Amino acid sequence: MAKRSLFMNSSEYTKVYAELKSLFDQDLSKIIIPGSEIRIVNCPFSSVIDDRFVRHDDLGVRENMTFSYPVFVPEDINSGKTILLLHGLNERSWAKYLTWAFKLCHDTGSYVVLFPISFHINRAPSAWVDPRVMLEPVRERKDRYGEIEMSSFVNIALSNRLTDDPMRFFRSGYQTAIDIAKLMEQIRSGEQGLIPAGNRVNIFAYSIGAFLAQILMMGNPDGLFSESKLFMFCGGSVFSSMHGTSKLIMDSEAYERIYNFYLNDFEKTIDRKNPVSDFLRSSQLGIAFRSMIDLSRFRAFRENILGKLRDQIRSIALLKDSVIPAAGILGTMAGRPCHREQVRIWDFPYEYSHENPFPVSPRISFREVDSCFDRVISEASLFLA
């Protein structure tokens, strides 16, 4: 008898979320999913270390340099398709994304790679999310800065790091970008080991992962993303249209610090001659990053490339998203009338947030959440299959 799929119908999202969360273990090399031919394999990775772009003290975070990433392996192991799934800012676990990856794998027959952004998830020390360790830094931060909105033990590590050095936002993204380029080359050549050589790689990106994915698509290092499609969920706007203050992301002091830096000081700092400035001024990837800071920066460059990519990029924005508002996504992606089919603005019939679009809560109808989840992932699967 054939094994029963966990996704026989869309009304099982909340059940599958709980099952995958309990099953997943980053320390296991392979994970069998009961009732499914899909399995999870945790693959080792060594980051590309360019000490010209990484702060000396950050080189000491060993978790960021050598880590593993989970791959959902489809029933057909000879599949020629792969989806790279990129997560949101300040995520500390894969729990939220396991069901997303499973459904994408199930519906498209693709390998689905969950790749962690630099200093996120298992690329960060576990102490950064330990309340016993982080509550004292929260108190110290409030003593130093006074009234701070949305300060929490969950966001204190990121908030302190970005307040101390706003360039960490760029540096972390740059390290992740070159790591992804390395991964793409490994998949292309067969060196990745699990995914068949030459697989076409598409991207499903959420939140700040969408910001990173847009820059990769626009910068297209070594032509690695020429044939890729990008599906964005709750993402797609320039940085200046985002509002990152959240107990799950960063506090108000950190957000004001990086916002003021990138909107007012960043362009002046890269006038100095050094490797980072040279990269930002002369490479297409660097200019793509600069063009995604504000609508007014390199507007012609950004709109020209996004226009050429209009058949390769789609975005779903949520009406009540306050972190990456729909208006900002529409303003970035639909600057010209012919681009407007790229962005859809949806609303859900329950209480949701940017950080938790599919809440698993006894206070919210699981049928409504399941239905909305299925709608989003089915839309993505149709585009990325």
Return d(Cα 49, Cα 159) in angstroms, integer.
Answer: 24
CB-count exposure of residue 360 (10 Å: 0-12, 13-18, 19+): middle
Sorted by where each starts, the structural domains of the chain and their CATH numbers stand as 10-384 (3.40.50.1820)
Q: Report the alpha-carbon angle 289-229-293, nearest 5.
A: 15
Return d(Cα 232, Cα 206) in angstroms, integer.
Answer: 6
pLDDT in tens, the chain (385 residues): 344 555 444 348 888 999 999 999 999 999 999 989 999 999 999 998 888 888 989 999 999 999 999 999 999 999 999 999 999 999 999 999 999 999 999 999 999 999 999 999 999 999 999 999 999 999 999 999 998 999 999 999 999 999 999 999 999 999 999 999 999 999 999 999 999 999 999 999 999 999 999 999 999 999 999 999 999 999 999 999 999 999 999 999 999 999 999 999 999 999 888 999 999 999 999 999 999 999 999 999 999 999 999 999 999 999 999 999 999 999 999 765 545 578 999 999 999 999 999 999 999 999 999 999 999 999 999 999 9
pTM for the structure as a whole: 0.95
